[in-house]
């Protein structure tokens, strides 16, 4: 039986670059890999798996929320590599888990642990629950030298805590930050949001 790996990290931790390097190493040894991505991730095109460093390749499989992953599709494959795994449905994670048993292909998933509010993505939650091996892909905070553990969302260059959970963005839409800088930036964002109502209240006559 093969293993299911979950390699998680923040934005900018070179997860996709790591995936592409693993694929390259397998192929250099004459082994066969399949690269997969969730259908939800269309940032760089429906089939493209692209790293911020500029390297990319086409995905062999695009996994919708009900993807069945027929075992025959994995015959003769030495590893299945999955990018942006936070966007997988729980059902697909369970199917990936099953494929490590029959036909016994190692599955290596790369993805974010949490969204911009610091909450687990459903795909990441399921991977944390069922993976054999959980590894962190590390990077440093954009504002200091501590390890980044949060993904700070920017809107027009400013930190924000608002909007839908999934908003695909390239460079600049999210920053990797430590807890201290996440707290400081999101507290500032909510102060700015409440500035207008507070000013309105301050002009109303105070009861004495």
Q: Any idea what the Cα angle at residue 87 is, between residues 175 and 114, rounded to 5°? A: 45
Query: Is the sign of the CA dihedral 11, 136, 14, 5 positive or negative?
Result: negative
Q: Which residue, judged by CB position, is nearest to Zn ion in the bound state?
A: 141
Per CB under 5 A, the segment of 8-16, 20-28, 62-70, 146-154 that binds Zn ion is 146-154
Per CB under 5 A, the segment of 33-41, 105-113, 158-166, 172-180 that binds Zn ion is 172-180
Which of 171, 120, 151, 150 lies closest to 6, judged by CA? 120
Out of 50, 120, 143, 154, point to the residue binding Zn ion (CB under 5 A). 143
**3-state class of 52 per DSSP?**
coil
Print the binding letters for residues 89-128 with Zn ion: x by CB under 5 A, - otherwise. Answer: ----------------------------------------
- Smallest distance, Zn ion to C-beta of residue 136, A: 17
Our answer to whether residue 84 is catalytic in this structure is: yes
Per CB under 5 A, the segment of 9-17, 82-90, 121-129, 141-149 that binds Zn ion is 141-149
Q: What tokens appear for 30 in the block?
A: 């004459």
Q: What tokens appear for 166 in the block?
A: 């999934």
Q: Are strands 4-8 and 133-136 parallel, antiparallel or unpaired?
A: parallel
CA distance 93 to 33: 18
- Smallest distance, Zn ion to C-beta of residue 122, A: 28
Neighbours of 143 (CB within 10 A): 17
Is 178 an interacting residue with respect to Zn ion (CB under 5 A)? yes
Phi, psi dihedral angles at 201 (to 5 degrees): -65, -35
Interacting positions 14-53 with Zn ion (CB under 5 A): none
Exposure on the CB side of residue 21, measured as CA atoms within 13 A = 9
In the set 27, 58, 84, 136, the catalytic residue is 84
Out of 4, 33, 67, 141, point to the residue binding Zn ion (CB under 5 A). 141
- Smallest distance, Zn ion to C-beta of residue 85, A: 26
Q: What is the contact surface with Zn ion in residues (CB under 5 A)? A: 141, 143-144, 146, 178, 181
Residues taking part in catalysis? 84
């Amino acid at each position: 039986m093969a293993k299911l790996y979950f390699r998680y990290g923040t934005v900018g931790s070179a997860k996709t670059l790591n995936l592409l390097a693993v694929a390259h190493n397998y192929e250099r040894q004459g082994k066969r890999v399949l690269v997969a991505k969730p259908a939800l991730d269309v940032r760089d095109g429906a089939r493209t798996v692209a790293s911020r460093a500029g390297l990319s390749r086409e995905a062999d499989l695009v996994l919708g929320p009900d993807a069945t992953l027929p075992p025959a599709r994995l015959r003769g494959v030495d590893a299945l590599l999955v990018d942006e795994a936070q966007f997988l449905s729980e059902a697909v994670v369970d199917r990936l888990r099953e494929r490590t048993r029959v036909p016994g292909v190692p599955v290596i998933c790369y993805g974010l642990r949490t969204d911009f509010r610091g909450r687990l993505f459903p795909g990441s939650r399921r991977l944390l629950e069922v993976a054999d091996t959980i590894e962190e892909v590390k990077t440093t905070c954009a504002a200091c030298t501590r390890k980044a553990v949060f993904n700070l969302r920017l809107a027009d260059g400013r930190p924000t805590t608002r909007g839908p959970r999934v908003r695909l963005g390239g460079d600049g839409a999210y920053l990797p930050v430590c807890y201290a800088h996440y707290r400081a930036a999101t507290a500032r964002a909510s102060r700015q949001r409440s500035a207008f109502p507070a000013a309105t209240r301050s002009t109303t006559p105070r009861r004495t």
